[in-house]
Structure 1
Amino acid sequence: MKKTLCYIALVIAVCAQSATGYLRIHPENSRYFQETTTGKPVLIASCAGVVPTARDCDYVRQIIEMRTKNITYGRVWHFLPWGGKVAIWPWAESQTPGGFWGGRGGYKLDLNVWNPLYWNRLRDAMARCERAGIYCEIHLFDRCGMSPASKDRWGNNPWASDHNINNLETPDSSGDGTPDFYKIHEKPNLRYHQERYVRKMIDETIRFSNMIYEIENEHWNYNNPEWAAYWGKFIKDYIREKYPGCPRLISYSSLQEDLEAFYDRDEVDIINRHFGNEAERNPDVLNQYIESRWAKGKPINIDEFANGVTDASLLRKMCWIIITSGGHFHIEDCEPSAKPFDVCENIRQFLIQSGWDFVHSAPNRTLVTSGQGYCMAKPGKEYVAYFPNGGKVGIKLEKGHYIARWWNTVSGGFENALEFEHAGGEKMLNAPTQSDWVLHIARVQ
């Protein structure tokens, strides 16, 4: 979840040029993306965000900083119950008092009347991101602003029944917004206003080629995939019918098991998996999750993790495990001491300097025969393996003539290049130190 609004690190590493056309699923490997204008493959490794709808947030400065740091992907935080009085809503105020609004009181909203300030700021931010070459993932709904019950979640949320004049079939601000918010087939007025809002969001942002639509951030308390399936189909059908030349990717994040259904359904293109502190306690769960689902053929974005992490070595370890397991990542709310920019820039430089053909690789941890490690490989052609503890390691190779190089995960750059003939089977190598390193092995043509 996001609660720090403007105060977020802004980092990305993407193996592609800036966003100059919409993203699509890569035609040669459906776990990765392709930039449609250049045809370049895209791997997301980021820590980024744009907050255009908080009065105290300078989103223009954010976007400038992102561009300065070569950031080309960010999440858009725009629906902000925890923003309190600084939050700007999509709808205009009515003349009816009686809203709770986190205890501050105030006029209720009229969900039939749009608020120009909100939409003007959102359009301006997305236009600036597009010009800066930044892909933007924007959530349509956000469970974190609805549940659990508190005055700075549902207690300050426009969807609460006592915060609008539109007779929504939802709990009032003293309650919890879930699961009632999801029961749209039982609540026609709620469904009408949700659909109206989603169509408006698409109408205002589809003009920007850099958009990715996330159905919801951190869904919970309604473990039924039909809710997200409904919205995935609704969004895709609306775009197909009204904007046939503007396809966009759809993502979804859930903390419940309903997320698993979308590995086998087409309403959602990108699986956004959020870990709490589980991955911090045991980073190996990242590999266990991603590699075990590789055969499903969908992009897996560990879209929010490392919240509150202070240890740079731990953050670096988690990020490289994700990359060498076949996933994407987005760091959220870690502390500056964890150096999120450093690790993302290091990965970006590795992708550039190695020329790694990740699109034609696949995760296969069993190729690591000695030493704890994680491996992506195109067997006989190219291997990228991450070893958290360095030292003496073994990796199983096909017969061939290779060059092996060690990538420094802290300072960047390759070290200790070794060219060798190999008869096939295990190859033992020594990392430069006992700390973490990435081994890049490529066949010599």
Structure 2
Amino acid sequence: MRFLMRCVFFALFVTGFLPLPAADPISLHPDNPHYFSFRGEPTILITSGEHYGALLNRKFDYLRYFDELASHGLNHTRVFSGVYLEIPASFGITDNPLAPTAKEFVCPWVRSDFPGASDGGNKFDLTRWNPAWKERLVDLMQAADERGIVVEMTLFCPMYKDELWNVNPMNAANNINGVGDCPREELYTLKHQGLTNVQIAFSEMIVNELKDFDNFYYEICNEPYFGGITMQWQHKIADVIAAAQQNAPKKHLISMNIANGRQKIENPDPNVSIFNFHYCVPPTTVAMNFGLNKVIGENETGFRGNSDVLYRTEAWDFLLAGGGLFNNLDYSFTPSHPDGTRRDYSSPGGGSVELREQLGILKEFLYQLPFIEMSPSASVVASVEPELSVEALGNPGEAYAFYLHVPLPSKPQDLSRLLRDNIEANITVDLPSGAYRAEWVDTKTGKVAKQQSIVHEGGKRTLTSPRFSNDVALRILKDE
């Protein structure tokens, strides 16, 4: 019934019987484009999201998923469009949301009357859109909208292995249109006009379908640095999206996924406003690209083990380094556990209810700061004892935020040997003269563990933390 009501509601929008919502889409903040503006508020996107199959996998209940994100104040998710899918054995992921059965696969293209697709179903017709996919797309977007969740709509993804190309609708073996008779490395290269035409038509169609929503942005392609994808093809799709939006009343942001780890961006595409990275430990890519004056995001983590401390510290580090978007790849969300309660997964990363609670604490910490007025401020930190990793944001004389944690490599071999309890840290900071209020915040509970008022003459000042395990946060605000 709820689905039917949404469909009727959207139909009334489309036919003009109800006015379209006036909200502008999420955009770069006009005062600080390293962050977002969404529904009139400064915004940082933070989440721990499912493995991208919420739209294309009919078995995945995105209402329960979105409810779980919203219950922790998380405001973001990544969604793959349905052009790409995986198989159950892909990447060792337990109950993989991106690996639906043929019956549960909701593809943008409709199946024809001709049998013979590699998944056992009928072949696809790449000239006809699937009404069931469009209906699910609208319902998913409306559900996210109601909960204040911003969707990254990822259009394309490389074929990492032949086994993924073998099941893809754009493979000539799986469609009736005679396109896609090529190696997987040539899928996104502009070498085959028939394939390029299919990809352009899909991009134009989805722009039209989503034009009235304010709670999303486009990502051109997930991990385009794999699978032979060319930069020329990425620029082409960015141009297509921009052209399709040219006369639209609402212009939606475009994201490009740059690299795993870090990379200096040279000659950025002028259509792109968000530059996303994966596995940013340490978060040095933010400083490398801060001069672009765009959002620098980390929209995928994982493959470090399943301990919450790894992804909690990664999130705090990245956002306190000046990033504007963070998404942990959360394997506790599966089609059988869309509320993120699966504990027995053997996937190559982490995710849990407790981690989502901790990311909600991070979001609350940041939202209590005037972060639009702040920027990376590593030079404020003169020293830290004992040896700890530190990231800092600041607005001189007004507001500062610091995050301290035990040093952790990207992929610890023996995590237990690196973790520490009962730490007391001394951080020496260089502050202008003034009156300040300092608060040490427990990153696991969100509670203020210690606070003090400071009347400072200017220069270096040492503050001592309460005792903590592994990590702690500090904010220093001008005392009115």
Q: TM-score, normalised by structure 1?
A: 0.84
Asked whether the equivalents of residues 152 and 219 of structure 2 are also in contact (C-alpha less than 8 Å), the reply is yes
Q: Which residue of 1 aligns with 2:253?
A: 249
Q: Are 2:125 and 1:110 equivalent residues in the alignment?
A: yes
User: Map of 1:5-404 to 2, 5 A cutoff?
Assistant: 21-35=24-38, 37-38=39-40, 40-49=41-50, 51-79=54-82, 80-82=85-87, 83=99, 84-85=101-102, 86-101=104-119, 105-143=120-158, 146-150=159-163, 153-171=164-182, 177-178=184-185, 180-184=186-190, 186-219=191-224, 220-222=226-228, 224-241=230-247, 243=248, 245-255=249-259, 260-261=264-265, 264-275=268-279, 279=280, 283=281, 285-286=282-283, 288-307=284-303, 309-327=305-323, 328-333=325-330, 334-336=349-351, 339-352=354-367, 355-371=368-384, 372=388, 373-389=390-406, 391-404=425-438
Asked whether the equivalents of residues 223 and 257 of structure 1 are also in contact (C-alpha less than 8 Å), the reply is no
Deviates more, 1:258-267 or 1:219-228: 258-267
State the Cα RMSD in Å. Answer: 2.4
Task: Write 1 or 2 for the structure with the bigger share of helix.
Answer: 1
Asked whether the equivalents of residues 20 and 133 of structure 1 are also in contact (C-alpha less than 8 Å), the reply is no
Using the alignment, how far apart are the partners of 2:261 and 2:306 within structure 1? 30
Secondary structure at the residue paired with 1:74? strand
Offset at residue 308 of structure 1 (A): 5.7
Asked whether the equivalents of residues 329 and 350 of structure 2 are also in contact (C-alpha less than 8 Å), the reply is no
Offset at residue 307 of structure 1 (A): 4.0
Offset at residue 61 of structure 1 (A): 2.5
Offset at residue 32 of structure 1 (A): 0.4
Offset at residue 293 of structure 1 (A): 2.0
Q: Percent identity?
A: 25
Asked whether the equivalents of residues 249 and 269 of structure 1 are also in contact (C-alpha less than 8 Å), the reply is yes
Offset at residue 117 of structure 1 (A): 1.2
Offset at residue 365 of structure 1 (A): 1.5
Q: What is the one-letter code of the residue matched to 1:235? A: I
Asked whether the equivalents of residues 392 and 400 of structure 2 are also in contact (C-alpha less than 8 Å), the reply is yes
Q: Which residue of 1 aligns with 2:335?
A: none
Using the alignment, how far apart are the partners of 1:374 and 1:157 within structure 2? 43
Using the alignment, how far apart are the partners of 1:420 and 1:97 within structure 2? 75
CA gap of 1:338–1:430, structure 2 versus 1, over 3 A, is farther
Deviates more, 1:323-332 or 1:398-407: 398-407
Offset at residue 223 of structure 1 (A): 6.4
Q: Which residue of 1 aligns with 2:338?
A: none
CA gap of 1:225–1:307, structure 2 versus 1, over 3 A, is same
Q: What is the one-letter code of the residue matched to 2:116? A: G
Asked whether the equivalents of residues 310 and 337 of structure 1 are also in contact (C-alpha less than 8 Å), the reply is no
CA gap of 1:429–1:386, structure 2 versus 1, over 3 A, is same
In the TM superposition, what whole-angstrom CA distance separates every residue of 1:372-427 from its partner, at most 9, and x where no partner exists?
Answer: 31111111211111111451111111222211111111111223222122222221
Using the alignment, how far apart are the partners of 1:65 and 1:21 within structure 2? 26
Q: What is the one-letter code of the residue matched to 1:229? A: H
Q: TM-score, normalised by structure 2?
A: 0.78
Q: What is the one-letter code of the residue matched to 1:232? A: A
Using the alignment, how far apart are the partners of 2:106 and 2:269 within structure 1? 35
Offset at residue 434 of structure 1 (A): 4.6
Secondary structure at the residue paired with 1:190? helix
Offset at residue 64 of structure 1 (A): 3.3
CA gap of 1:48–1:422, structure 2 versus 1, over 3 A, is same
Q: What is the one-letter code of the residue matched to 1:120? A: E
In the TM superposition, what whole-angstrom CA distance separates every residue of 1:255-276 from its partner, at most 9, and x where no partner exists?
Answer: 479975467331211011012x
Gaps of 5+ in 2: 1-21, 88-98, 331-348, 407-423
Using the alignment, how far apart are the partners of 2:380 and 2:255 within structure 1? 32
Using the alignment, how far apart are the partners of 1:426 and 1:234 within structure 2? 53
CA gap of 1:129–1:147, structure 2 versus 1, over 3 A, is same
Asked whether the equivalents of residues 81 and 156 of structure 2 are also in contact (C-alpha less than 8 Å), the reply is no
CA gap of 1:312–1:118, structure 2 versus 1, over 3 A, is same
Q: Which residue of 1 aligns with 2:465?
A: 431
